[in-house]
Structures are given as C-alpha cells and as structure tokens.
C-alpha cells in the first residue's frame, strides 16, 4: 500500500509538469508585424506609430515570384500613443489579430522625431521578450516613417526586405551605409565617449502612387526607396547628416569598411581608373599633447583594379606605386573631411572619448562633462597605406594591342 501511495503522490506532482504548449497561439490568430514606423504625433498623442503587417495569403508562393493572392503583400495600420506600448495596444482596435513582433526586421524613425529625440522609443523594444534587438533601425530622411513604410516594392514581395537587403548590399559594396541594430543603438546611447549613427533612407518619386499596385506592376516604379547617408546622433537626437564621401570617410574611421570603389582622373580623363578596396583595417591610438588628447589614426587597405580607360601600364611597378599613393591620398582626404564635419556637430561617433576613458581614466573623469567641446577642437593625424594586389582577369587592357 505504501508503494501505491507513493506512486500516486508522484503522479500528482509530475502530471502538471507534462502539460506542454500552455501558451500556444495559432498562426491564423496572429498578425505578423514586419516593420514599424514611428513619427512625432500629429494630434494629442506623442507618437504616431505605423505597423506593416504581412498578408500571408498574398505571399504564400514565396517572396520572389508570382502566385499567391492578388492583393498587396502587406497592409499598414496606424495608431497613436504617448508611448510605444500604448500605441501598440490601441492598434488592436484596427488589427483583427494578436500583434506578433518576432518577425519584425526594421524600425523606421521619422526625421522630425529623430531631431526631437528617440530615447523614449527604445525601452519598449529592449524590454519586450518577443521583439528581437537584432532588428535594424533607420531614419526616414526628410520624411515621415509612415511614408516609407507604406511603399510597395518590386523584386521582393515583402517591402521590409527592401530596407534590410539594401543596407546589406550598400554596406558590402559601396561603404556609404551601416546596418545598425537596436542592440547597437542602445550601446551607442549608453556609451561613455561614443555616439551612435543610423543609416538614412529617402523616398524618391510619388508617395501616393507608391502605395498602389502600379508601383510593383511596372518596370519603372513611380516611387523608389533609396539608401542615403548616415544620421549622426548626439544625446539621443539627430545632430546632422553625413553624405557621399563624408560617409565613406566616417566608415573608414569606424573600421567598418567592407568594400567600395575609388576612381581617379588620369591623363586629363575624368574617372579614368577605378579601383576597389576590399580589405581594410583602422587603428586609432590616443596620445596626449600638453595634457590634451591627440588621435593617431592609421588605416591600411588592400585594393584591386576594377577598370582602366586610359593609357596606364599596370605592369609597371612605378605606375602601381603612383596608384597606391593616389588611393592613399584620396582615403586620407575623405577621413579628414569626415572628422571636420562631425566635429562641427560635436558628436563623437568615432569613439575617441571611449579610448581616452580606457587609456587615462583620471583625465576622462575631468573632461567627461565637457567632452563634446573637447572633441570638437581635438587634433589628430591620419596616415593611410594602400596596397595593390589584383588586376582582375587580365593585365593590360584589351585595347592595348589594337593601338600597335
């Protein structure tokens, strides 16, 4: 009998532990949010929040082909609130399913809100266990986030892929954008001696036509979303923009350059020689002159030839040496120009302050409160060394023999 009682007692304790899927949710009851747009509120509420929700029936055959339903692949809902949680819960009045954030890939912040400050929108994303902090964050340049999040795109059925894949492509090939996640952003705003950056996107063309099927049923879409520049943040607010070569100089300095192209005028011909840097390393050391921080910046990069459209003997060591010097000078100029512009914003996105903090904690304690002004007047020296490694599939250009 004792054994029977023991067995029954064991079952009483074990059976509750065997109940699985206690919090299961059916897919048909969920609204999968693929992207979120956050703007400054236009009414009595602090924020206008837009949710890009996928329509499963219209993407059932895959994201890159036809089939599925005939309607748009996503639908956009708008809500308002004095915080993101309130806006999300109010959205359930319009969204006929439970909002689900685990598939959210992009958060878009309108420029007007970015200039006023984004600190009040971050805690909810960081705290929600459903929301991935690997989600990318971008700024809608000169636009509302609602405008960008509502655009239908071709090539990829799900519009949010347009943002994420463009970020990855431009980061790898052009060097003028950086994918910044919520984790990266939080690290930047909480860091002592470093400010974050965010990639910007612009809307070209008609926003009204961009929300219609016309935008995906034509070879020349009337509205196009394009990556454009880096937003420099300071104390959680947008301080200004870096564009083109200034962006590239900043990316070199932040040691995030994965690939780009550098063109040179030669023999009186514009952009006659094109090179492609593809390996790069940046080293920054902080020294002190007269008690003030001084940045020693050393950049080394490897490049290959991409095009030659003028007389240039790439098999001549002297010509290669000349090309390396030209590349070094161009990179140095871009880096110095980027530093000067960012110093004008008084926002240390390069982490010079972090290095001061690590190398001289006592000095950092004294200058921390005034670091933005210290950074704005900080001196530096930039040294760039480039190394030619490849010429592609051929040595001299194909037309060399035609002139003999």
- Cα 27 from Cα 109, distance rounded (Å): 29
Element (H, E) at 32: strand 30-40
More confident call, 221 vs 67: 221
CB 38 within 8 A of CB 182: no
Residue 6 has pLDDT above 80, yes or no: no
More confident call, 325 vs 206: 325
- Cα 222 from Cα 155, distance rounded (Å): 15
Q: 21 pLDDT band (50/70/90 cuts)?
A: low
Range with lowest mean pLDDT among 143-157, 277-291, 390-404: 390-404
**What does pTM read for this prediction?**
0.88
Residue 26 has pLDDT above 70, yes or no: no
Range with lowest mean pLDDT among 95-104, 152-161, 318-327: 152-161
Backbone angles phi, psi at 194, to 5 degrees: -155, 135
CB 259 within 8 A of CB 173: yes
pLDDT digits (tens, 9 = 90+) for 266-279: 999 999 999 999 99
- Cα 186 from Cα 182, distance rounded (Å): 6
Q: Are strands 98-100 and 106-110 parallel, antiparallel or unpaired?
A: unpaired
Q: Are strands 30-40 and 269-289 parallel, antiparallel or unpaired?
A: unpaired
- Cα 65 from Cα 62, distance rounded (Å): 6
Residue 213 has pLDDT above 90, yes or no: no
| Percent of the chain predicted with pLDDT > 70 | 90
The domains of the chain are located at 28-242, 245-404
Residue 387's pLDDT is: 96
Query: What tokens appear for 314 in the block?
Result: 């790439």
Q: Which of the 8 DSSP states describes residue 65?
A: S
Query: What tokens appear for 275 in the block?
Result: 């090179």
Q: How far is CA 370 from CA 291, 320, 345, 375, in A?
A: 15, 46, 14, 9
CB 215 within 8 A of CB 223: yes
- Cα 27 from Cα 31, distance rounded (Å): 8
More confident call, 154 vs 109: 109
Residue 29's pLDDT is: 78
| Percent of the chain predicted with pLDDT > 90 | 64
- Cα 324 from Cα 44, distance rounded (Å): 59
Residue 156's pLDDT is: 79
User: Which residues does 218 contact at the CB level (< 8 Å), separation at least 6?
Assistant: none
Residue 402 has pLDDT above 90, yes or no: no
Average pLDDT over residues 384-404: 82
Q: 9 pLDDT band (50/70/90 cuts)?
A: low
Nearest to 313 by CA among 396, 218, 219: 396
User: Which residues does 4 contact at the CB level (< 8 Å), separation at least 6?
Assistant: none
Residue 66's pLDDT is: 43
pLDDT digits (tens, 9 = 90+) for 121-172: 999 888 888 889 999 999 999 999 999 999 988 887 788 888 999 999 999 9
More confident call, 184 vs 1: 184
Average pLDDT over the chain, rounded to an integer: 88
Domain covering 245-404 in this structure, CATH number: 3.30.300.210
Residue 69 has pLDDT above 80, yes or no: no
DSSP string, 104-125: --EEEEEHHHHHH--GGGHHHH
Residue 338's pLDDT is: 97
Q: Which of the 8 DSSP states describes residue 369?
A: G
């Amino acid at each position: 009998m004792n054994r029977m009682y023991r067995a029954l007692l064991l079952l009483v304790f074990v059976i509750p532990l065997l109940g699985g899927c206690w919090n299961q949710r059916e897919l048909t009851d969920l609204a999968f949010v693929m992207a979120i747009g956050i703007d400054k509120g236009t009414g009595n509420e602090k924020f206008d929040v837009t949710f890009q929700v996928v329509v499963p029936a219209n993407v059932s055959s895959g994201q890159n082909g036809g089939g599925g339903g005939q309607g748009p692949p996503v639908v956009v809902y708008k809500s308002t609130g004095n915080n993101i949680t309130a806006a999300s819960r109010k959205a359930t009045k319009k969204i006929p399913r439970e909002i689900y954030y685990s598939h959210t890939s992009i958060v878009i912040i309108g420029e007007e809100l970015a200039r006023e400050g984004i600190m009040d929108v971050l805690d909810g994303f960081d705290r929600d266990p459903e929301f991935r902090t690997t989600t990318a964050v971008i700024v809608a340049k000169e636009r509302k986030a609602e405008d960008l999040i509502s655009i239908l795109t071709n090539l990829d059925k799900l519009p949010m892929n347009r943002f994420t894949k463009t970020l990855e492509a431009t980061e790898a090939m052009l060097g003028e954008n950086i994918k910044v996640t919520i984790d990266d952003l939080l690290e930047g705003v909480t860091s002592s001696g470093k400010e974050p950056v965010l990639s910007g996107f612009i809307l070209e063309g008609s926003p009204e036509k961009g929300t219609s099927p016309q935008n995906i049923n034509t070879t020349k879409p009337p509205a196009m979303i394009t990556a454009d520049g880096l937003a420099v943040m300071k104390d959680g607010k947008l301080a200004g923009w870096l564009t083109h070569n200034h962006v590239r100089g900043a990316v070199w300095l932040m040691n995030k350059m994965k690939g780009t192209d550098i063109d040179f005028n030669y023999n009186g011909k514009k952009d006659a020689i094109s090179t492609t840097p593809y390996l790069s390393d940046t080293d920054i050391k902080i020294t002190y002159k007269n008690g003030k921080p001084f940045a020693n910046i050393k950049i080394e990069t490897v490049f290959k030839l991409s095009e030659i459209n003028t007389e240039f003997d790439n098999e001549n060591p002297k010509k290669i040496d000349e090309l390396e010097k030209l590349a070094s000078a161009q990179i140095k100029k871009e880096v110095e120009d980027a530093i000067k512009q960012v110093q004008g914003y008084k926002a240390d996105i390069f982490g010079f302050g972090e290095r001061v903090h690590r190398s001289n904690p006592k000095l950092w304690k004294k200058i921390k409160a005034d670091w933005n002004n210290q950074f704005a007047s900080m001196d530096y020296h930039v040294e760039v060394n480039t190394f030619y490694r490849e010429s592609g599939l051929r040595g001299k250009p194909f037309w060399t023999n035609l002139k003999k």
